[in-house]
């Protein structure tokens, strides 16, 4: 190959056998195309690829941030809903207790009125009965006195004496009082 190089003349500027890297004749060619390639890559990267990737990464970052914010929002909302639910439950419980208490008080009041009424009517009835009993008792005493007088008059006449009505009355009355 070194022979070939020498034969060609163009690239034979002291190219040592075995090291194409040191073949100075090809340097111009390599450098020219390399610079062209680097410029091409630079423009492709700086004009298209890098801004695009930067935009993608920024967009992703934005999306993630937004999603996290939205999730936090929803969490707060859920907590609020829970608190509202708890509050409603507590309110309902308090209301139920209040209603129960009210009802109980009302019933108690009704009951008290009814008991009072019943007591009053019972007392009236009792007084009436007592009056009746007293009357009956008084009636009975009169009857007893009359019977006693009659009986005493009979006894006295049977024994042959003449019964003096006023004396018997006085005796019977005295006995009954004693």
Partner 1 sequence: MADEAKGGGGLSFHPMDQFQVKPLFGTYGDPIHWYTITNVTFWLALAVLAVLGLMVLTTSKRAVVPGRGQSVAELMYGFVYKMVEDVTGKDGIKYFPYIMTLFMFILCANFLGLLPTSFTTTSHIAVTAVLGFGVFFAVTILGFVKNGAGFLSLFWVASAPLPLRPILALIEIISYFVRPVSHSIRLAGNMMAGHAVLKVFAGFAQVAAIAPVAIIGVMAIYGLEVLVSAIQAYVFTILTCVYLKDALHPHH
65 binds partner 1 (CB under 8 A): no
**What is residue 85's three-state secondary structure?**
helix
161 binds partner 1 (CB under 8 A): no
Rounded Cα distance, 173 and 148, in Å: 9
Least distance in angstroms from the C-beta of 46 to partner 1: 4
Least distance in angstroms from the C-beta of 69 to partner 1: 16
Question: Which residues touch 20 (CB under 8 Å, ≥6 apart)?
Answer: 26
63 binds partner 1 (CB under 8 A): yes
85 binds partner 1 (CB under 8 A): no
Nearest to 172 by CA among 139, 145, 135: 145
Least distance in angstroms from the C-beta of 72 to partner 1: 20
148 binds partner 1 (CB under 8 A): no
Rounded Cα distance, 169 and 151, in Å: 11
User: Of 25-33, 72-80, 81-89, 167-175, which part binds partner 1 (CB under 8 A)?
Assistant: 25-33
- Which of 56, 94, 124, 140 binds partner 1 (CB under 8 A)? It is 56
Q: Is 173 left (phi over 0), alpha (psi -120 to 50) or beta?
A: alpha
Least distance in angstroms from the C-beta of 87 to partner 1: 41
Question: Token digits for 107?
Answer: 């019933």
Number of amino acids touching partner 1 (CB under 8 A): 46
Largest CA distance in the chain: 206
Compute, in degrees rounded to 10, the torsion defined by CA atoms 137, 142, 146, 148.
50
37 binds partner 1 (CB under 8 A): yes
Residues of this chain that bind partner 1 (CB under 8 A): 1, 4-5, 7-11, 18-23, 25-38, 40-42, 44-46, 48-50, 52-57, 59-60, 63
């Amino acid at each position: 190959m070194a022979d070939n190089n020498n034969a060609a003349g163009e690239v034979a500027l002291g190219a040592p056998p075995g090291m194409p890297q040191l073949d100075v004749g090809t340097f111009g060619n390599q450098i020219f195309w390399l610079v062209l390639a680097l410029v091409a890559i630079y423009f492709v990267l700086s004009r298209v690829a890098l801004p695009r990737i930067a935009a993608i990464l920024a967009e992703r970052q934005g999306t993630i941030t937004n999603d996290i914010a939205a999730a936090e929002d929803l969490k707060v909302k859920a907590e609020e809903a829970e608190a509202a639910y708890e509050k409603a439950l507590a309110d309902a419980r308090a209301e139920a207790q209040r209603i129960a208490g009210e009802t109980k008080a009302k019933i108690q009041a009704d009951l008290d009125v009814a008991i009072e009424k019943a007591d009053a009517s019972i007392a009236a009835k009792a007084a009436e009965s007592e009056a009746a009993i007293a009357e009956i008792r008084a009636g009975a005493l009169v009857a007893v006195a009359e019977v006693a007088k009659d009986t005493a008059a009979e006894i006295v006449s049977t024994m042959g004496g003449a019964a003096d009505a006023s004396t018997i009355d006085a005796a019977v009355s005295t006995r009954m009082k004693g």
